[in-house]
Amino acid sequence: MHELEPHYKWRDRYTAETDEHSPFFGRIYSEFEFSNKIYNYFIHPQWDHFGSGTLYTKILFADYDDGFAIMEFIGEWNDCINNDIMLLKREVIDALIDQGISRFILICENVLNCHIDDDSYYEEWYDDVKEEDGWICCLNLRQHLIEEMAAGNLQFYMSFDEPFNELNWRVLKPVNLFRLVDQHIRNPRQLLLMN
């Protein structure tokens, strides 16, 4: 797991540690000293800790003019034991919402397990962004995570599954990824006809 680093090809466009609006502003990272762990496994030091012992994130891109953020995750999303959604909402998402972010792309291909407990924080997050025409979308979830999230009724608050679970996002520029996801969410039938 220590070799899985956050996507770095957009760093010439954005870094959370230099963004004064980011909850991770001012963070200093080591390329050589591994201190964060998920269970007994060290992870790459570029991942950001927000309070969870099993889930880490990285804000890959934030555009305050267009009101969107792209975040990547690694680890186990566990609301049952760690209340990860509460920590994420309070420590990261609320800060971004306060800066005008209302559309969130969550890249979850490195999330290995997911345990949903209560949907209250997801509902709160959705309520916080829907008035601004906002949305929350998870990309590239593993099938068992899609099933867990659907069993927790999260489809009422966030988009996931088709067509978002096999999207080759790395080849896109951040704004193009945002536009593609936004278009899928706003008019999925039109995109199906285009394909």
Asked if 171 and 59 touch (Cβ cutoff 8 Å), the reply is no
In the chain, % of residues over pLDDT 90: 78
- Closest among 43, 23, 25, 22 to 34, alpha carbons compared: 43
Q: What is the tens place of the pLDDT at every residue in 69-106? A: 999 999 999 999 889 999 999 999 999 999 999 999 99
Q: Where are the domains of the chain?
A: 1-38+85-100
Angle CA 27–79–113, to nearest 5: 85
For range 173-182, the mean pLDDT: 97
Give the lowest-confidence range in 43-47, 56-60, 66-70, 141-145: 43-47
User: Quick one: tokens of 91?
Assistant: 């420590």
Count of CA atoms in the C-beta half-sphere (13 A) of 55: 31
- Closest among 154, 91, 160, 86 to 126, alpha carbons compared: 154
d(CA 62, CA 53): 25
